[in-house]
Amino acid sequence: MNKQIFVNLPVRDLDKSKAFFTALGYTFNPQFTNEHGAAMVINDGSIYAMLLTEDFFRTFTSKPLVRAQEATEVLVCLSCDSREEVDSLVAKAVAAGGTTPRAPQDHGFMYGHGFEDLDGHIWELVYMSGMPPQ
């Protein structure tokens, strides 16, 4: 059986978050999307980000929610097929209202950059030369 991953992230405004990630080229699975959450497809069949309204997210934990603009609760890292894909996704994120917390990192064999989404979640993007295409 092929394993899947579902990264669950609390969001303040689900509609704005969906619009942000749609601007980056991501889609949502309507079967698992409603007014409480949206299943963002990162890699069809295996990787999803569940964008959950804060109130709904709280039903899954008794711990307080972290304000991602103030503290880091997770770094989500996605591989890309090229340096150009890394730069393109970062540019799309910034154009859609995201920010870049740091400059691109070029280590020769590995190139990375990233962005913060509207809720402050950090998304790292990395291209590693020599890795097989996805």
pTM of structure:
0.88
Q: Which CATH fold would you assign to the domain 5-128?
A: 2,3-Dihydroxybiphenyl 1,2-Dioxygenase; domain 1 (3.10.180)
Mean pLDDT, all residues of the chain: 94
Instruction: Specify whether the CB–CB gap between 4 and 43 falls below 8 A.
Output: no
Give the pLDDT band (50/70/90) at residue 131.
low
70: left (phi over 0), alpha (psi -120 to 50) or beta: alpha
CA 70 to CA 56: how far, in whole Å?
Answer: 21
Separation CA 131–CA 110 (nearest Å): 10
133 falls in which pLDDT band (50, 70, 90)?
low
**Residue 134: pLDDT above 60?**
no
Q: For 13-53, how does the pLDDT look when each residue is reduced to its tens digit (9 = 90+)? A: 999 999 999 999 999 999 999 999 999 999 988 999 999 99
β 122-128/75-79 pair status: parallel
